[in-house]
C-alpha cells in the first residue's frame, strides 16, 4: 500500500485553496498547503479587497461635491495618497494573518515556498518532497503583459496598488472590468485619466447596453474615452513622459500607463506538464465537472482553470471539491446565474443572461428597462443616470437576467440574484412591494416593455 504524507496537498493559498484546504481538513483529511507569497491570493492582496478600498476613496470626492447641495460646507480638506496606501496595507496584512490562522486552527500544515510537482503524487517545496494521495492546484492568475514594443513600460493592476505617488496623467489600456475600475479610481482621485480600448464599447461579455451606458457615465465623471484604439508601441521621452501609439495612427501621452488587458492562469513552471496534466493554450488546467484534471490524482480550481474567474466561485469550487473528495457526496459546481459586479464609477452589476446571450440561445424575449436620475442627485448638479434592465423569457415569463448600472448596484443585484436563481417570473417580481423611495424598487415596478 502506497505511503502518503498527506491526503490532500494544496498548491496556492488564495480564497479557493484556503477554503478547500480547511473544508477537507474538517472532514478529517490530512492536509498541507503551500504558498510562496502572502495568503489570500489575488483577491485579498491585489484584487477585490484593495481595489474596493481604493474605489471607496475615489468616490468620496463626488460625495463631498453632492454634500454641498444638502447644506454641508468644507467637507473636503485634500487627499493624501500615501495615507490611503498605508492604511490599505495595514488592512491587507490583517487579512493575511486571518487566513493563516484559519488554516492553522483547522489543522492544515502550512508550507512557505514555491511548490512544484515531481509526479502525479509528489510535490517539492524548498527542496523537500512530499507525497500526497491527491494534489489540488489553486495557484490563481497573473496579469498579462503587453506584447508590444515598450510594453514593459506599462504597469499592471498588481503594481497599481503600490505606487509611491499618484501620476498627474494616467492612460489605462483595456476595456474590461479592471480597466473600468482603475480608470474610475484614478479619475476620482484627481488624475487626468484616459481609457483606451481597441473595441467599440466597454465590458465585452456583459449586456451590451450596460457597457455602452457605462462609457457614457464615465465620460461625465471626467474619464476621456478612446474606442477603436489598439496600442502598438510605448516610448519613454527624456522628460519621463510615456507616449503610447495606436494602430489608427494616433497617440496619447501620460505619466503612467496601466495595462489592464487581461489575466492568465498562473500555472507555468509548476511541473504540471511533466506530471501529465493537460493544459489549455492559455495555461489553464483542463478539468471536468468535478474539477479533476486529466490525471486522476490532480485537481484544480479557481483562476488556474479559467472557467469563471470570480473569488466566490473559487470558494464554491473549493467547497464542492471537499464534498467530492472527503465528504462522501460527489458535488459539481453550479455556474448558472452567478451574480457579479464591477466597482467602476458608477457601479455595475449583473446576474443571469444578457440580452445578447438569451437571443443567441433562441429565446423570445420581453425587455423591461428603467433609466432615471436618482433622488440623491435631485438637489445637485449631477447628471448621473441609473439604469436597470430585466430580460424575460416571453413564453415562461421567467426572469432570465437582471442588470444594473448605478450606485450600490452590487448590493442591490445580490438580493435580486436570489430571485433569478430560484426562477422567479416577471409576475412574481411585479407582485413584490417595493421599498420607497429607493433605486432598488424599480426592479419590481417596471411594467412597460421596452421597444
Active site residues: 436
Of the candidates 340, 330, 264, 265, the one whose C-alpha atom is nearest the C-alpha of residue 291 is: 330
What 8-state DSSP symbol labels residue 43? H
Cα→Cα distances 163→86, 179, 201, 256, Å:
11, 17, 28, 10
Say which residues have a Cβ less than 8 Å from residue 185's Cβ, sequence separation at least 6: 51, 54, 55, 57, 58
Detail the DSSP E strand segments found in 36-148. Answer: 109-112, 115-119, 122-125, 128-137, 141-143
Q: Three cell numbers at 141?
A: 492568475
Distance of CA 58 to the CA centre of its chain: 18
Cα separation, 9 vs 260, whole angstroms: 32
Cα separation, 431 vs 433, whole angstroms: 6
Q: How far apart are the first and last CA of the chain?
A: 69
Phi and psi, residue 370, nearest 5°: -145, 135
Of the candidates 139, 140, 143, the one whose C-alpha atom is nearest the C-alpha of residue 262 is: 143
Cα separation, 298 vs 211, whole angstroms: 38
Assess whether the previous peptide bond of 253 is cis (omega < 30° from 0). Answer: no
Cα separation, 226 vs 278, whole angstroms: 39
204 C-beta neighbours (distance < 10 Å), count:
12
Query: Which helix (DSSP H) or strand (DSSP E) does residue 264 occupy?
Result: strand 263-265
**3-state class (DSSP) for residue 263:** strand
Q: Three cell numbers at 368?
A: 423591461
Q: Three cell numbers at 127?
A: 527542496
Q: Three cell numbers at 337?
A: 446565474
Partner residues linked to 8 by β-bridges? 31, 134
Three-class secondary structure assignment of 201-249: CCCECECHHHHHHHHHHHHHCCCEEEECCCEEEEEECCCCCEEEEECCC
Say which residues have a Cβ less than 8 Å from residue 115's Cβ, sequence separation at least 6: 9, 11, 34, 36, 123, 124, 125, 270
Amino acid at each position: 500500500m502506497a505511503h502518503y504524507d498527506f491526503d490532500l496537498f494544496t498548491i496556492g493559498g488564495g480564497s479557493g485553496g484556503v477554503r478547500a484546504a480547511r473544508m477537507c481538513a474538517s472532514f478529517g483529511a490530512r492536509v498541507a498547503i503551500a504558498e510562496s507569497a502572502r495568503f489570500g491570493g489575488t483577491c485579498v492582496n491585489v484584487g477585490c479587497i484593495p481595489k474596493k478600498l481604493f474605489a471607496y476613496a475615489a468616490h468620496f470626492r463626488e460625495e463631498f461635491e453632492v454634500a454641498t447641495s444638502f447644506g454641508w460646507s468644507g467637507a473636503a480638506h485634500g487627499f493624501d495618497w500615501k495615507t490611503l496606501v498605508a492604511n490599505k496595507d495595514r488592512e491587507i496584512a490583517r487579512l493575511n494573518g486571518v487566513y493563516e490562522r484559519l488554516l492553522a486552527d483547522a489543522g492544515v500544515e502550512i508550507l512557505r515556498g514555491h511548490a512544484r510537482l515531481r509526479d502525479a503524487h509528489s510535490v517539492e517545496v524548498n527542496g523537500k518532497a512530499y507525497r500526497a494521495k491527491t494534489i489540488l492546484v489553486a495557484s490563481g492568475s497573473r496579469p498579462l503583459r503587453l506584447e508590444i514594443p515598450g510594453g514593459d513600460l506599462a504597469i499592471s493592476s498588481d503594481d497599481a496598488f503600490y505606487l509611491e505617488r499618484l501620476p498627474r496623467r494616467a492612460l489605462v489600456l483595456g476595456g474590461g472590468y479592471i480597466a473600468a475600475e482603475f480608470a474610475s479610481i484614478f479619475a476620482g482621485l484627481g488624475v487626468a485619466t484616459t481609457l483606451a480600448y481597441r473595441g467599440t464599447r466597454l465590458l465585452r461579455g456583459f449586456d451590451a447596453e450596460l457597457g455602452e451606458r457605462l462609457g457614457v457615465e464615465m465620460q461625465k465623471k471626467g474619464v476621456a474615452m478612446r474606442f477603436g484604439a489598439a496600442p502598438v508601441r510605448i516610448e519613454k521621452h527624456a522628460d519621463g513622459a510615456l507616449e503610447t501609439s495606436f494602430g489608427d495612427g494616433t497617440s496619447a501621452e501620460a505619466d503612467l500607463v496601466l495595462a489592464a488587458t487581461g489575466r492568465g492562469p498562473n500555472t507555468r513552471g509548476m511541473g504540471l506538464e511533466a506530471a501529465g496534466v493537460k493544459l489549455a493554450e492559455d495555461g489553464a488546467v483542463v478539468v471536468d465537472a468535478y474539477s479533476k484534471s486529466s490525471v486522476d490524482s490532480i485537481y484544480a480550481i479557481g483562476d488556474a482553470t479559467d472557467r469563471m474567474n470570480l473569488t466566490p466561485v473559487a470558494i464554491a469550487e473549493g467547497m464542492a471539491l471537499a464534498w467530492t473528495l472527503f465528504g462522501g457526496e460527489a458535488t459539481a459546481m453550479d455556474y448558472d446565474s452567478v451574480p457579479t459586479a464591477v466597482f467602476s464609477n458608477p457601479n455595475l452589476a449583473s446576474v443571469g443572461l444578457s440580452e445578447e446571450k438569451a437571443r443567441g440561445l433562441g429565446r423570445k424575449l420581453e425587455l423591461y428597462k428603467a433609466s432615471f436620475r436618482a433622488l440623491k442627485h435631485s438637489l445637485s448638479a449631477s447628471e448621473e443616470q441609473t439604469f436597470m434592465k430585466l430580460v424575460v423569457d416571453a413564453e415562461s415569463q421567467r426572469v432570465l437576467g437582471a442588470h444594473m448600472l448605478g450606485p450600490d448596484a452590487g448590493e442591490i443585484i445580490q438580493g435580486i440574484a436570489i430571485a433569478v436563481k430560484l426562477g422567479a417570473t416577471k409576475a412574481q417580481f411585479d407582485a413584490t412591494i417595493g421599498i420607497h423611495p429607493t433605486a432598488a424598487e424599480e426592479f419590481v415596478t417596471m411594467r412597460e416593455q421596452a421597444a
